[in-house]
Structure 1
């Protein structure tokens, strides 16, 4: 590294340089996609969500910050989604990537995000900065003809449009609150309306208590999201997708590993299931705990010792209190042996990773193993998953 390296806010004048770095990181951007890429980039840089590293006047690394809401335990928590992380080849292995990510994390803290998540191109750098696996994005494949036979003919379904965005979000909230979902992203109504306006590439159908969004994926179909609050609606929506079986043999579906479709479909999903792991990090542990939902009916009092080189405010001893589905993390003056977690271990616990796994990997130490079950229950629930890639 040189003394000239510094963090910068990406501006429109930097975008040509960022594109050059991107081409060296992910391959050239097709000419047909450049206009949309530039349009998207401007949305991020206008409010300080595009951070870079410059050597003198030249941008050599950059990353975008998404403002997300992420469901945890059935409640939404503000989360900074980090995307488009690129570093010019001649600057790799010289600490530029870490410098960039520290700038991104600080900007995320300034924006009031207690969590940050990303899909890693490599886990090494992110683990050094305190990220750990939080969950997966799962794609299952079903035979279209099998889905077509699921029935639900008595359910009224209509084509959805931009005006239905609010209803879509209501159905999503009801589903995720009831299931105490974790990991799923929440989108603003304006963005959902924008997607629903694209009725050439996106097929969206709405019932009284559910909806489906799907499209073509080559010669097959792909379900991006399906919410149903009753068996009959679930059958009807899956059968609607499966009605394309005369031209599409397979339906790829982004769903939870616990989605009811696994119980409704007569035939097992293709064994070639795909999973993309995403990583999580806590930036403000007390705020992240306060915003998250916890298992109802569980009461836990536990002492934690946190170690975090990147967020000094985390370091120290804390009292975790969980009751009535809510949690609180407050500084503690206690003494004696205590459960110790670094940033990676804390991320894993928050995401519901069993403490036995965290202990076996060295990410949790100390304290009494006999107390682990209560913490596992408090943070546990359905597997954390995402439907979206960013």
Structure 2
């Protein structure tokens, strides 16, 4: 690195340079995608969510982050979804990516995001910066004829459009809260409106559920999201997706590993299920603990020490309290504490057991409260339905 390297806010004047670096990083963008990419880039930079690194006057790296919500034990928390991380080839391996990501994390803190998440192209850089695996994105494949036989004909469903976007959010929120879901993203309302306006998508809405799907090939459909608050609604929506089984023989679906469909369908999903892992980081540890839901019956009182060199506000001695499904991380005097770095803290937050964290060297200190912490942070497997 040189002394001329500095963090900058991406402006519209930088976007041609960002496109050049992106082309060097990921290949040529399809001709029809440039306008769409530019439209989103302007949204990010206008909101101060696009950060770059410049060497003198030349832009050499850039990254942006989405303004998402994410469910943790049934409570919705703001999360900065980092995407589009690009570094010019001649600057790779020289610390530019780390400088860029520290700038992104600092901007996330400034904008009030307790959490950050991303899909890693490589885990090395992100682990050095305190990210750790938080969950996965799962893709399953079913025979559409099997889905068609699920029934649910007594459930009223209708085709959905852009005016139903708020209703989609309300249904998803109600179901994810009741299920105490972990990891699931909530997209901005305007994005959902665009999905529902896209003629390539098909969407149906019921009183307590919805489905959004599209063609994935000549004989294949892909379900982006299907959520249902009852068995009969789930059956009706899945049967609707499978209704064209004479043409679309296979249905791919992004689902949690514990989705009810796995217990409802007579034949199991294709054994070649796909899993894509994503990473999590706490940007504001006290705010992240206060916003998260916890197991209602769990009770925890434990002193912890956090060492977070890249977000020093998280570092120090803390007292963690959990009771009645609510957590608090309050400053405390130095004590014989459990000790976590940012990676261990992120993995604990995502429900990784203390036994695994200790085995990986990500948790140290007294083990007296391990069982209580496991019970507090436990829940359903954390997952995402979306790639960003």
| Moved segments of 4+, more than 4 Å | none
SS in 2 for 1:247: coil
The match for 1:245 is 245
Structure 2 Cα separation of the partners of residues 40 and 335 of structure 1: 48
The match for 2:363 is 364
Structure 1 residues 67-94: Cα deviation after superposition (integer angstroms, max 9, x where no partner): 1111111001111110000001100000
Structure 1 residues 310-346: Cα deviation after superposition (integer angstroms, max 9, x where no partner): 111222211100011110000111422x211110000
The match for 2:88 is 88
Deviation, 1:305, is 1.2
1:212-251 aligned within 5 A: 212-219=211-218, 220-251=220-251
The 10-residue stretch of structure 1 (125-134 or 186-195) with the greater mean CA deviation from structure 2 = 186-195
1:269-280 aligned within 5 A: 269-280=269-280
The match for 1:343 is 342
The match for 2:78 is 78
Structure 2 Cα separation of the partners of residues 67 and 301 of structure 1: 33
1:134-283 aligned within 5 A: 134-198=134-198, 200-219=199-218, 220-283=220-283
Structure 2 Cα separation of the partners of residues 218 and 61 of structure 1: 35
Structure 1 Cα separation of the partners of residues 126 and 14 of structure 2: 25
Deviation, 1:13, is 1.0
RMSD, aligned CA: 1.0
Structure 1 residues 20-63: Cα deviation after superposition (integer angstroms, max 9, x where no partner): 10011111112221111111111111121111001111111000
The match for 2:28 is 28
The TM-score, its normalising length taken from structure 2, stands at 0.98
The match for 1:387 is 385
Contact 2:300 2:369 in 1 (8 A): no
Structure 1 Cα separation of the partners of residues 340 and 127 of structure 2: 14
Contact 2:351 2:374 in 1 (8 A): yes
Q: How many residues were matched structurally?
A: 387
Contact 2:303 2:335 in 1 (8 A): no
The 10-residue stretch of structure 1 (212-221 or 88-97) with the greater mean CA deviation from structure 2 = 212-221
